[in-house]
Amino acid sequence: MRGYSVTLPRRSLRQPQPNMNPGGDCAACALGGALGLTVPEVYARLREGKIQGATWFDARDALHRARAAGLADRIIVDVPIWPWAGYEPRAWFGLAASAQAMPWFAHLRMALDAGYYGIAEVSYRRAGPLGLPDHQVLLCGVREVWPEEGVGGVIRHEVLVSCSAGAAEEWVDVDDFLTQRGGFNVLLVRPTP
C-alpha cells in the first residue's frame, strides 16, 4: 500500500456486561483504553466515583484528573478551528466540520505521530449534523490510502475508530466520520510511558 499510516497499540475497552452505568460505559471504556485503566478504575479515579454517562466536558475534566494523577503525560483539550480552511465554496452550511476535514486530519495525524490518542464524542447511529452525540470512541490510527499505480482514483484519508460497542474497530473515511458521526472536537491524551 502506498501512502501513510500510523496505528497506536491501545484500543477502547469492551462494554462491561452488565453495564455499570445503565446508559452505557462508552466514555469510561475509551478513557480506560487510552490510559490503561479498567472501567471501575476510570469511575473511581477519574470520575470521582460517579457511575454515570459522560459528556465531552466530563471527559475533558477526567483527562485533567488523569494528567494530575500522572496517568497522562500530556493532554490537549482545546479545539482548533480553521476558518473555512480554504474551502469558501463549501460555506453554504456555515463553518461545518466537513469543510475542515483535511486540516483536522493533519492535526490528528500529527497528534498520533506524537503518541496521543483521540477521544471523540460521536453520534453512534451516524445521524449526521442533526443528530446529537450519544457515544464516545477512541481514535487510534490514521492512514492515507493511495490507488494502485496506473489505476485512476483518489487518495483516501481514514481514521481508525475503536469502539466499546458494535465493531471493535474500523477504518472510516475522514469526511464520512465528520459528516455522519461528528467527533470534530476530539480530545487528545498521551499516556504516561
Q: Are 134 and 123 in contact (CB under 8 A)?
A: yes
For residue 136, the surrounding DSSP H or E stretch is: strand 135-145
The reply to whether the predicted model has a pTM over 0.75 is yes
Tens of each residue's pLDDT in the chain, 193 residues: 578 899 999 999 999 999 999 889 999 999 999 999 999 999 999 999 999 888 999 999 999 999 999 999 999 999 887 665 555 555 555 567 777 888 899 999 999 999 999 999 999 988 887 788 899 999 999 999 988 776 778 899 999 999 999 778 999 999 999 999 999 999 999 999 8
Give residue 53's pLDDT: 85
Which CATH number, 3.30.70, 3.30.200, 3.90.70, 3.30.230, labels domain 3-186?
A: 3.90.70
Residue 26's nearest CA partner among 9, 44, 43 is 43
Residues belonging to the chain: 193
CA distance 184 to 186: 5
Q: Where are the domains of the chain?
A: 3-186
Which pLDDT does position 1 carry in this prediction?
Answer: 52
